[in-house]
Amino acid sequence: MNLFLHTLDNGIRLVHHRTKGLAAHCGLMICAGSRDEAAGEHGIAHFIEHMLFKGTRKRKSYHVLSRLEDVGGELNAYTTKEETAIHGSFMKGDYERAVEIISDIAFNSVFPEKEIDKEKAVIIEEINSYLDNPAEMIFDEFEEMVFPGQPLGRNILGTPDTVRSFTRKTLYGFISRNYDPRQMVFCSAGNIEDNKILRLFLKYFGAVPAKKKNNRSSILSLYKPSTLIKKMATNQNHCIIGNAAYALKDKRRMGMFLLNNLLGGQGMNSRLNLSLREKNGLAYDVESYYNTYCDTGVFSIYFGTDSRNLEKSISVTRSELDKLRSKKLGIIQLSRAKNQIKGYLARGYENHENLMLSLGKSLLVFNRIDTLEDICKKIDAVTSSELLEIANDIFHPSSLSTLIYK
């Protein structure tokens, strides 16, 4: 992979991937998310992401929104529990326009009081929409069970009460504590020459002052397996079964990804899809997830089913987990599982917007970027014995928690 890397004196890192085509993509990834919120700040990282589009020292909100859209581009942002990203997609001839607007909203936003009040109402409506969607809400509540009483276990949106409490002072306070240039990566993909990328990177990010970020608090190991059943006004029963899992830098992470994909990944031939949906007709939507964080992780299986089929669905799910705990994958099964996930990765690399964000996340977290070939070698190195050990560690019945909406 053709990568250009550079680090500014203030600590902001750059990764650019030269690609073919007329479209280009770039973004700024910031190591600040909802897990960095202090008491009373629940939802502030996401609120700031919204407010970044509401005006800068030289632009009104409309001009921020129109800067890329006027030339057929798109400016967007997202917040996770561990990072905030501002990114754009556009024609390569508009590259400087994109870099400048991302820099402007990241470092020059002014958070007008009038806009704060309006955005509170918008986000409260977003929260209400979320509360009407049990298939989405159940994932956040499950993480609350895994990380009780800790910011990592809370949903990203916040609550109506915390959102109403935000002021310009609290927004600037969170940014001052958490927006550290040494914990930022500018990522880029497009048919742009390296020397032009470097010139624009220096022009729009070189003057950002360095600062010291507070150290992120590590997660406390408070997980205890439990079962919670909640009465909900839903047409289906919704169920999650899962456990705490491995962190981003854990050497067992690749094996866990393989097992997760085998169980309930995106393929229609996943074990859970075949057993719950194709064979028994018990569920329409069945998936498994492995979410990784810098110091921990979560594995979960989700399905929605009719109340009459709930117990059988749980039984079938646990049976599939027991199979992975009791018997090694054969040579052909293991090879098929590895080839499938390598194929998914290769296809993902062809989506240059996703690749750009992936490169940024890798540099932000690991301070390095593995090529597709490097990743495939790590996948090939996983053995059936390692998968059996991981399955017995994560899928053991005594370690699993269950959350049911019925």
| Spatial distance between the Cα atoms of 237 and 239, rounded to a whole number of angstroms | 7
- Across 173-180, average pLDDT: 95
**Would 3-205 and 227-405 be classified into the same CATH topology?**
yes
Is residue 405 within 8 Å of residue 227, measured between CB atoms? Answer: no
- Would you say residue 175 has pLDDT above 70? yes
Burial category of 315 from C-beta neighbours within 10 Å (exposed 0-12, middle 13-18, buried 19 and up): exposed
* Beta bridge partner(s), residue 286: 303
The pLDDT of residue 369: 95
Token digits of residue 151: 């910011």
pLDDT at 115: 96
Across the range 214-232, mean pLDDT stands at 87
**pLDDT score at 70:** 96
CB atoms within 10 A of CB 4: 17
- Segment 347-379, tens digit of pLDDT: 988 999 999 999 999 999 999 999 999 999 999
pTM summary value: 0.94
In the DSSP assignment, the letter for residue 218 is P
Q: What angle do CA 126, 130, 131 make, to 5 degrees?
A: 120
Tell me the residue type at 329: L
Topology at the third CATH level for domain 227-405: Cytochrome Bc1 Complex; Chain A, domain 1 (3.30.830)
pLDDT of 214 = 67
Q: Would you kindly state where each structural domain of the chain is located, as residue ranges? A: 3-205, 227-405
Task: Give the mean pLDDT of the chain.
Answer: 95
Q: What share of the chain is helix, strand, coil (3-state, %, to 5)?
A: 50, 20, 30
Residues 152, 298 contacting (CB under 8 angstroms): no
For residue 56, the model assigns a pLDDT of: 97
Name the band, by pLDDT with cuts 50, 70 and 90, for residue 381: very high
**For the residues of 349-389, what is the DSSP string, one character each?**
HT-HHHHHHHHHHHHHHHSS---HHHHHHHHHH--HHHHHH
pLDDT per residue as tens digits for the range 108-161: 999 999 999 999 999 999 999 999 999 999 999 999 999 999 999 999 999 999
In the chain, what percentage of residues exceed pLDDT 90? Answer: 93
pLDDT in tens, 262-310: 999 888 899 999 999 999 999 999 999 999 999 999 999 999 999 999 9
The whole-angstrom separation of Cα 31 and Cα 84 is: 7
| Residue-level length of the chain | 406
State residue 291's pLDDT score.
96
In this model, does residue 232 exceed pLDDT 70? yes
Give the per-residue pLDDT at 323: 97
**Bridge partners, 229 (sequence order):** 404
Q: Is 130 left (phi over 0), alpha (psi -120 to 50) or beta?
A: alpha
Express each pLDDT in 60-78 by its tens digit. Answer: 999 999 999 999 999 999 9
- Alpha-carbon distance 251 to 257, whole Å? 11
The owner of tokens 């600590």 is: 11
Closest residue by Cα to residue 138 from 298, 319, 280: 298
Fold of 3-205: Cytochrome Bc1 Complex; Chain A, domain 1 (3.30.830)
Does position 255 have pLDDT exceeding 80, yes or no? yes
Q: What is the pLDDT of residue 218?
A: 79
Average pLDDT of the residues in 36-53: 96
- Per-residue pLDDT, averaged over 99-105, amounts to 98
**pLDDT single digits (tens) 4-17:** 999 999 999 999 99
pLDDT at site 293: 96
- Token pair for 120: 């509170």
Instruction: Decide if pLDDT at 404 tops 70.
Output: yes
The pLDDT assigned to 380 comes to: 97
Q: Given a cut of 70, is residue 213 above it in pLDDT?
A: no
What is the predicted pLDDT for the residue at 181? Answer: 96
